């Protein structure tokens, strides 16, 4: 393990300033500074507020991660950073910081994809990703089914949401129920007291002629709002726990059903679930149940590694170094709409060649 | 002393190296949309041009604005990270002071103002006396609201030139240069004076509104 690459990862695509340190597939530090409380009164993430917070938090969070890991910056084999997708101004803070660290320390820079990082974080908990692996990525900004053969070079989208992301639906339903922002944790908590079968909310895009692996949560969100408003207008109490449980059941039912189906259709027997919504307790339980029934091995990182963090970026960076992937150039751009198929952003002139850290035959 | 200075608070992405006596290298590119891409290569260029190594640097000076936030932050976070990694102090300089110094070097005399574009039909500006000392600002205002106060006095910078119809004393220099920023910082440091903390001068709050109550889905 000692000769595995030591990489620091920086993540600033949304409202968390995350800095992680990873050696190979071993997590050494995961420091996060969140501005979520500053966004709560706005009912959603305000990009400028997030960007200002990233600037303030950057150096202290890097120092905290190095201290936690018990390493010095000079020991690092590389600096990895989320190059996209995400909020443009927020990404730019992390990318600029990463470049400055890489330059000052004389280390290679790896601009990597946020979604691929969410998949690769699984390596820190369950060892190297089996090839192939199916990934269900569900967060406030994304809901995608991705098939990866090599997490440093090959991620293929099978389907994605056609409207709201799953996490967005949690936020909106929480607002309908007056539960505040962010919606995920509070809906999860309320749902534990409720009956998931109480109300049969619609399962979007599950008809016979619907796209097999795409998702839609906008109709579900509206159905919940209508149901709640009708109750209120009739002067009846809204059974908040039942609504939360039934809504959550509809989301997790569709997500897990499609993920299992995608595994079966593609002959893939490993499913990883990542992104902030993967912290949802019902999603985790249902996925476990359904995967076990289908003979699929499930990999879900602990909740703290499902939400945005720097360790996931470091995990992908370490894998890039290990496989000898090309580093990025110092004029690397932050790309708010970086396609999921672009796992990293190598130097277009190919001038920066990373050397393979050690043989690919090495075990996990 | 080997001081590296840079500024990204305006469309100019500018970096310079100062040895305590003079500016030994400088690089300036004007591109309002590529601060993130241009800054580190510019820093690398001035170090190479001067034949200096990163480890030779003794201090950093960074323009703290005011300026449009996204670009401004590129300079500030770069300075913070470089300072952290190299273990050297990071000082802040008001970007308008750098511009004012450039103006004096180009022969502007008497009281004058340094003005940059704040977008949304406003400008960032500060007023300077005949010795080049800042006497007011930095502030953000509409050009028409400061025209009377300037009363035709020279107004330098792209913000003045953009509103030359209102700011009748508008003239060059148009852009801030890190060379002047570096010289300003080097003089202050040599004199044992204070510079600013390396934190941004935003001058405006983030645009964000607390949403008005819950919007019903059902028709009223």
- Domain locations in chain B? 3-95+176-190, 108-171
Q: Helix B69-86 and helix A47-69: axis angle, to 10°?
A: 10
CB contact under 8 A, A58 and B207: no
Of A48, A62, A176, the CB nearest to B84: A62
Mean pLDDT of A267-278: 97
- Calculate mean pLDDT across residues A55-59: 98
Q: Which residues of A touch B39 (CB under 8 A)?
A: 96
Given this chain, do its domains B3-95+176-190 and B108-171 carry the same CATH topology?
Answer: yes
Q: Is the CB of residue B166 less than 8 Å from the CB of residue B115?
A: no
Peptide bond into B138 cis (omega under 30): yes
B3-95+176-190 domain in CATH 3.30.420.40?
yes
Q: Which residue has the higher pLDDT, A361 or A248?
A: A248
- Look at the alpha carbons of B84, B85, B86, B91 in this order and tell me if their dihedral is positive or negative: negative
Beta strand spans in chain A (E): 6-11, 16-23, 26-34, 78-84, 109-113, 133-138, 143-150, 154-160, 270-274, 297-299
Sign of CA dihedral A48, A50, A51, A57: positive
- Angle A143-A145-A151 from CA coordinates, rounded to 5°: 110
Query: What are A172-224's pLDDT values in tens digits?
Result: 999 999 999 999 999 999 999 999 999 999 999 999 999 999 999 999 999 99
Asked if the model's pLDDT at residue A73 lies above 60, the reply is: yes
Handedness of CA A38, A185, A231, A206 (dihedral sign): positive
Superfamily holding B108-171? ATPase, nucleotide binding domain (3.30.420.40)
Chains A and B: how many Cβ contacts under 8 Å? 113
3-class SS of residue B196: strand
The shortest CB-CB distance from B77 to any of A58, A73, A225 is to A58
Digit-coded pLDDT (tens) for B148-207: 999 889 999 999 999 999 999 999 999 999 999 999 999 999 999 889 999 999 999 888
Pick the CATH number of A129-301 from 3.30.930.10, 3.30.420.40, 3.40.50.720, 3.30.300.180: 3.30.420.40
Enter the ipTM.
Answer: 0.96
CATH topology of domain A6-121+309-360: Nucleotidyltransferase; domain 5 (3.30.420)
Domain spans in chain A, listed from the N-terminal domain onward: 6-121+309-360, 129-301
Residue pair A76/A4 in contact (Cβ under 8 Å)? The answer is: no
Q: What percent of chain A has pLDDT over 90?
A: 91
Q: Which residues pair with A9 in a beta bridge?
A: A20, A80
Query: Is the predicted pLDDT of residue A159 greater than 90, yes or no?
Result: yes
Angle CA(A248)–CA(A11)–CA(A154) in degrees, nearest 5? 80
Minimal Cβ distance to A101: which of B73, B85, B209: B85
Q: What 3-state class would DSSP assign to A307?
A: coil
Kindly report, residue by residue over B126-140, the tens digit of the pLDDT.
Answer: 999 999 999 999 999
Question: From B70, which residue of chain A is nearest by alpha-carbon distance?
Answer: A89
Using CA of residue A16, residue A20, residue A26, residue A28, what is the dihedral sign? negative
Interface of A with B (CB under 8 A): 41-43, 46, 48-49, 51-52, 54-55, 58-59, 62-63, 73, 88-89, 92-93, 95-101, 103-106, 175-176, 178, 222, 225-226, 229-230, 233, 330-334
pLDDT digits (tens, 9 = 90+) for B16-66: 999 999 999 999 999 999 999 999 999 999 999 999 999 999 999 999 999
Distance CA A332, CA A96 (A): 9
Distance CA A331, CA B178 (A): 20
């Amino acid at each position: 393990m000692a000769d595995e690459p030591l990489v620091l990862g920086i993540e600033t695509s949304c409202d968390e300033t995350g800095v992680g340190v990873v050696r190979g597939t071993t997590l050494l530090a995961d420091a996060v500074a969140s501005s979520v409380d500053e966004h709560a009164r706005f009912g959603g993430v305000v990009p400028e507020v997030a960007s200002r917070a990233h600037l303030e938090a950057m150096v202290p969070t890097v120092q905290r991660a190095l201290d936690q890991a018990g390493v010095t910056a000079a020991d690092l084999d590389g600096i990895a950073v989320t190059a996209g997708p995400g909020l443009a101004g927020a990404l730019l803070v992390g990318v600029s910081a990463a470049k400055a660290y890489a330059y000052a320390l004389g280390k290679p820079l790896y601009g990597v994809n946020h979604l691929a990082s969410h998949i690769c974080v699984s390596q820190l908990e369950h060892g190297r990703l089996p090839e192939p692996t199916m990934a269900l990525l569900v967060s406030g900004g994304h809901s995608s089914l991705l098939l990866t053969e090599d997490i440093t070079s090959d991620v293929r989208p099978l389907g994605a949401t056609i409207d709201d992301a799953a996490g967005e639906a949690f936020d909106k339903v929480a607002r309908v129920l007056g539960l505040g922002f962010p919606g995920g944790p509070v809906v999860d908590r309320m749902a534990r007291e409720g009956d998931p079968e109480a109300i049969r909310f619609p399962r979007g895009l599950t008809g016979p002629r619907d796209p097999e692996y795409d998702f839609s949560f906008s109709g579900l969100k509206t159905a919940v709002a209508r149901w709640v408003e009708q109750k209120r207008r009739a002067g009846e109490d809204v059974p908040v726990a039942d609504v939360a449980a039934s809504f959550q059941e509809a989301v997790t039912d569709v997500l897990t059903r499609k993920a299992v189906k995608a595994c079966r259709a593609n002959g893939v027997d490993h499913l990883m679930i990542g992104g902030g919504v993967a912290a949802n307790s019902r999603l985790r339980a249902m996925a476990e149940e359904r995967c076990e029934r289908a003979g699929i091995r499930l990999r879900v990182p602990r909740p703290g590694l499902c939400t945005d963090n720097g360790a996931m970026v470091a995990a992908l960076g370490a894998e890039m170094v290990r496989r000898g992937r090309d580093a990025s150039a110092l004029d690397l751009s932050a790309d708010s709409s970086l396609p999921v198929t672009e796992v990293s952003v190598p130097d277009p002139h190919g001038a920066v060649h990373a050397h393979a850290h050690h043989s690919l035959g090495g075990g996990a | 002393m080997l001081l590296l200075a840079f500024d990204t608070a305006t469309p100019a992405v500018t970096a310079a190296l100062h040895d305590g006596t003079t500016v030994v290298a400088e690089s300036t590119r004007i591109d309002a949309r590529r601060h993130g891409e241009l800054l580190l290569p510019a820093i690398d260029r001035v170090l190479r041009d001067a034949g200096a190594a990163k480890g030779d640097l003794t201090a950093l000076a960074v323009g703290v604005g005011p300026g449009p936030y996204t670009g401004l932050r590129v300079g500030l976070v770069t300075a913070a990270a470089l300072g952290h990694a190299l273990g050297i102090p990071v000082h802040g300089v008001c970007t308008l002071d750098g511009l004012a110094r450039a103006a004096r070097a180009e022969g502007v005399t008497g009281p004058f103002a340094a003005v940059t574009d704040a977008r949304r039909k406003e400008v960032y500006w500060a007023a300077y006396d005949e010795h080049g000392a800042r006497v007011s600002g930095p502030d953000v205002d509409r050009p028409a609201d400061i025209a009377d106060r300037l009363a035709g006095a020279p107004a330098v910078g792209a913000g003045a030139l953009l509103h030359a119809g209102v700011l009748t004393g508008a003239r060059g220099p148009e852009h801030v240069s890190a060379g002047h920023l570096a010289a300003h910082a080097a003089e202050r440091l040599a004199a044992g004076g204070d510079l600013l903390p390396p934190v941004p001068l935003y001058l405006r709050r983030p645009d964000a509104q607390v949403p008005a109550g819950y919007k019903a889905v059902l028709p009223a």
